[in-house]
C-alpha cells in the first residue's frame, strides 16, 4: 500500500476550491489503496491559513480529519 505525505499546499488548495486532489486521495484511503499522513507542522501551517477564518470555509477544512 502506498504511503503519501500530504503537504500544506494540497490542504490549502482544497480548502480554497482550487484543487480536488485531496478529495481523490481521501477516497483512495477509504478504499484501502493508500495511507495518507500529515506531519504536525503541516497541520499547524494549515490551520493558520487566513482563509480558514472565514466560517464558510471551515467545513471544507474538516476533510483533514480523514488524514492519519
Which pTM value belongs to this model? 0.65
pLDDT, tens digit, 9 for 90 and up, residues 3-60: 999 998 888 888 878 888 888 999 999 999 999 999 999 888 887 766 666 666 555 5
Quickly list DSSP for 4-61.
Answer: EEPPHHHHHHHHTTS--HHHHHHHHHHTTSEEEE--HHHHHHHHT-GGGGSTTTHHHH
Amino acid at each position: 500500500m502506498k504511503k503519501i505525505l500530504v503537504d500544506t499546499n494540497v490542504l490549502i488548495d482544497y480548502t480554497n476550491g482550487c484543487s480536488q486532489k485531496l478529495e481523490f486521495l481521501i477516497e483512495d484511503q477509504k478504499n484501502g489503496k493508500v495511507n495518507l499522513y500529515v506531519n504536525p507542522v503541516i497541520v499547524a501551517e494549515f490551520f493558520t491559513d487566513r482563509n480558514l477564518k472565514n466560517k464558510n470555509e471551515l467545513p471544507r477544512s474538516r476533510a483533514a480529519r480523514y488524514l492519519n
